Amino acid sequence: MNAEQVEALVGQVCQDYLKNNSRTLKSGVFCSVDDAVAVAASAYRQYSLLTLNQRQQVIDAVKADLLLKVEDLARMTVEETGMGIAEDKKKKLLLVLQKTPGTEDLITEVKTGDHGMTLYELSSYGVVCAVQPCTNPCETLICNTIGLLAAGNAAIHVPHPRALEVSQFVTELISKAISRTCGIDNLVSTLSETSMAVTRELMTHPDISLVIATGGMGMLRQAMSCGKKVIGAGPANPVAIIDETADLQKAARDIVFSTSFDNNLTCITEKSIVIVDSVAEEFLRELKKNHVHCVSDQQEMLQLTLATVAPEMVPNKALEGKSAPEILSAAGMDCDDSVQLIVVDTVRQHPFVTEEMLMPLVPLVRAKDFEQAVEFACEIEQGLRHTATIHSRMIERLNYAAQKLQTAVFVKNSSALAGIGFDGEGDTSFTIATATGEGTTTARHFCRRRRCTLANAFSIR
């Protein structure tokens, strides 16, 4: 019996013991952090013996099973979180399953010269803790899982308390698909309960090698202090710039499409608009043609503010992810049920502008010219370096804005959703690591970059 066979046998014995003795509720769901990590470590040892082709077969099986449950997952997410639109969540789930890259993302680099060859390849970390948000719980969990499996890791997901049940359900589906395909149980798992204390315990566990943190600033700070390698996706406040050369009709359609999509819960969709004043009125007219309720009246603005902004000057969480008619109704305002978006003509100091509202409520700020529009956009984005968009026909301005804002995702003349491959080019990612600099993460970011050198060989120049 060789070393690999011995390791596989030991791993299977440990897996069998833990399966019979750990406090597990159902496939992939554990009561205890220690149990979850022990089982994941055993599963990882077995998974590390698989080839890249076998990893891809596992990923394909997971995708196939999840495709059958897309409508259920979308419906369950809306029911549990009370946020968003089921039909739009279905589209996001399909996007993740169709455009998240697998093992093909694991690039190899080679350098050769007079002294031989140096090879750079991507290897797994081991057991990974992945913290998920409530805004896109299933999409982020599935997207990260595909990348983690492609990279050769085991994953323990920490769902948001508002999306606990649906996260456990999707994890169980994934765990069963993996077990059926390669015989490895609990390679992807989660916990029966979640809290800040449980999250901290998992992040700091000695057998966790990597932490992926997708969420707000509080959770990000906790992850960054855990003493591990962290991929950190922090807060966002995406801004759209519109100049006087823009195709205003198209800009209006693009912005309404992305900001009304899933009630503006997606982290990259526009949360504010900065427009050159000379075309602001014409743009507002275009918005109204696209089922937008425009607000400029001071009394209406006050009503909306009182309804959607808490006394602490932060968004009212009870209205996050709600529809535009629901928000207007909460503010005591009448509107047609066909309204998809609320646009408020206001100043850049308003909480609608400075806070990420996560609602189909978008402020519009006027600037005297393009240069001031970019200046305002930089202030509004607040150096978070997450996402920005621009609508302009001038190449120089497109480049200038991109250079000034320095965001991880920058979209020119399209909806912000194009930045994650929705009706656009490029791979899909729902963990956009702004705090740690990886940007739109895929399998290659969930790996260690290793270097191997061979002297005096494999150079044929």
- For 341, the 3-state DSSP assignment is strand
pLDDT band at 457 (very low <50, low <70, confident <90, very high): confident
Q: Between residues 2 and 370, which one has the greater pLDDT? A: 370
**Least confident residue range of 15-19, 32-36, 113-117, 310-314:** 15-19
pLDDT at 24 over 50: no
- Structure confidence by residue, pLDDT tens digits, 129-188: 999 999 999 999 999 999 999 999 999 999 999 999 999 999 999 999 999 999 999 999
Report helix angle 137-151 to 86-99, nearest 10: 10
**Contacts of 370 by beta carbon, 8 Å cutoff, 6+ apart:** 241, 243, 244, 276, 392, 397
What pLDDT does residue 423 have? Answer: 87
pLDDT-derived band at 16 (thresholds 50, 70, 90) equals low
- pLDDT, position 411: 97
Average pLDDT in the chain:
92
Asked if pLDDT for residue 291 goes beyond 90, the answer is: yes
Q: What is the pLDDT of residue 26?
A: 66
198, 222 contact by CB (below 8 A)? no
Contact 307, 330 (CB under 8 A): yes
Question: pLDDT above 90 covers what percent of the chain?
Answer: 85
Residue 238 has pLDDT above 70, yes or no: yes
Residue range 345-366, pLDDT digits in tens: 999 999 999 999 999 999 999 9
pLDDT (average), residues 205-212: 96
Q: Where does the pLDDT of residue 461 fall: very low under 50, low under 70, confident under 90, or very high at 90 and above?
A: confident
Q: What is the mean pLDDT of residues 296-310?
A: 93
Whole-angstrom distance, CA of residue 447 vs CA of residue 125:
6
Predicted confidence (pLDDT) at residue 1 exceeds the cutoff of 70: no
Which DSSP helix (H) or strand (E) runs through 92? Answer: helix 86-99
Q: pLDDT-based confidence at 6, cuts 50/70/90?
A: very low
